[in-house]
Structure formats: structure tokens, C-alpha cells
Copies of this chain bind each other. A is one copy, B any other.
């Protein structure tokens, strides 16, 4: 399912069929990871970057006091650590949130792109920039939004990203994150996540089915969260 990456990169600019072929031929191998397994440990200097093909992965930084902050969440089609091509060692760990399949792209292949395919290089830069834009939106949530809004905002973001990746199924998508993990994303304790989720359900904004999150009215949740999808640079699909 490297196609998801091809589609994502073509959101930067339409790719020629040659360029698409280059992207398709990037993976050297694919690896499977179990739920909770570390894909790249913090401080490692991998010789390849990972593309998530299936599952759900996140990047996090562990603190000396035993807590951690999850700094990004990745769905299929995401280049999880493209930046490790230029910035090593990496400043965070990467782990699988659920059983996941990952394609490994050797850094030499990326170097080749930078040498020979400027338009594709721009697409890679675009992907890095999109990642950073998402970081910024998360910072806003962590710094200035209430617990309720943070969680609602995260769900809105995932709703649109899942939709873009073709993973939305009648107003809902698979999401197997527990409340501790949601807390590590939103900078909250799991107890407070629990209470905020209850409030969101009470208000009819979300419905949780086993491993699935349903958002019956995305406009209402967006309003509650102060969510504006502009930073995701979506395109009509």
C-alpha cells in the first residue's frame, strides 16, 4: 500500500508517471511490528526512513520523570521519519500503537531523489513542512486549549486525515488508542481524558464503538474545538 504515499505526495504537485514510479520503488523491505513495539528507538541513527503502510504509529519523547509526550500520530501513507534522512540521531522514539506494517526506505534512495528529481524533492520538503505544520497546531492545543477542546481537535484532525487516506467509513474510523495514550498526546492525565471523553459523548459530539470512533457531525465538533483544517492542506477528493 505504498500507493497511499504516492497519493499524499501528489497533494504537493501532480507527479509525472516517472516520478510516481520512483516513489513506488522506494521501499527496500517491509517490516511488521506488534502493538507497542518500538520501531526506532530514541537516539538511533537509522540508515533508512519508515513509511507506514498499515496500522497506527506514533512518535514520542520520554522524560526523566517517567512521563512522556507523544509528538505525532501517523496513519497509513505517512512518511514517519523522513527527517532522519538529514537529522540524525533522531530526537524521539517511534512506536507502533497497533500491529503495523512499515516500509523501509534506504537513505541512499532519498539522496538519489534529491540528486535527480527536483520536483520530487520539493514534494518531500512539502511532506516535512506538513509534519511541522501539524506540530505547530498541536502546540497551540497544548498551550492554549482546554482538555475538552484538545481532544475534540485531535479527533477532527484524525477525521480529515483518515478521510484523505480513504480510511473513513460512514462518519467513523478505526482508532485503537487507550486513554493513557490519548493523555500522552494531549498532555493530560488519563483520568482527565476519561472525564473529557464522557463530556464529549454526553454532548453528542462523538460515539465510541469497539476500537472505532464515530463523529456524526464533524461541523459541530469542529466548532467546539475551534478546528480549522487549513493546516492539513487537504485537497478535494
Interface, chain A (partner B; CB < 8 A): 12, 43, 59, 61, 63-65, 67-69, 71-72, 83, 85-87, 89, 91-92, 111, 114-115, 118, 121-122, 124-126, 128-133, 135-140, 142-145, 184, 186-187, 226, 230-231, 233
Instruction: State whether A132 and B83 are in contact (beta carbons under 8 Å apart), knowing that A121-B121, A137-B91 are contacts in the complex.
Output: yes
Alpha-carbon distance A43/B21, docked complex (angstroms): 34
Q: Which residues of B contact A143 (CB under 8 A)?
A: 69, 142, 184, 186-187
Tell me whether A139 and B140 are in contact (CB under 8 A).
Answer: no
Give which listed residue, B86, B89, B92, contacts A122 with CB less than 8 A.
B86
Instruction: State whether A63 and B125 are in contact (beta carbons under 8 Å apart), knowing that A131-B132, A135-B135, A231-B91 are contacts in the complex.
Output: no
Tell me whether A132 and B130 are in contact (CB under 8 A).
Answer: no
Alpha-carbon distance A115/B115, docked complex (angstroms): 8
Integer count of this chain's copies in the complex: 2
10 closest residue pairs by CB, A with B: A143-B187, A142-B142, A83-B129, A135-B135, A87-B129, A86-B126, A132-B132, A91-B231, A69-B143, A69-B140
Tell me whether B139 and A132 are in contact (CB under 8 A).
Answer: no
Q: Which residues of B contact A71 (CB under 8 A)?
A: 136, 139-140
Q: Which residues of B contact A186 (CB under 8 A)?
A: 143
Considering only CB atoms, which chain B residue lies closest to A127 in the complex?
B86
Q: Which residues of B contact A133 (CB under 8 A)?
A: 83, 87, 91
Q: Which residues of B contact A231 (CB under 8 A)?
A: 91
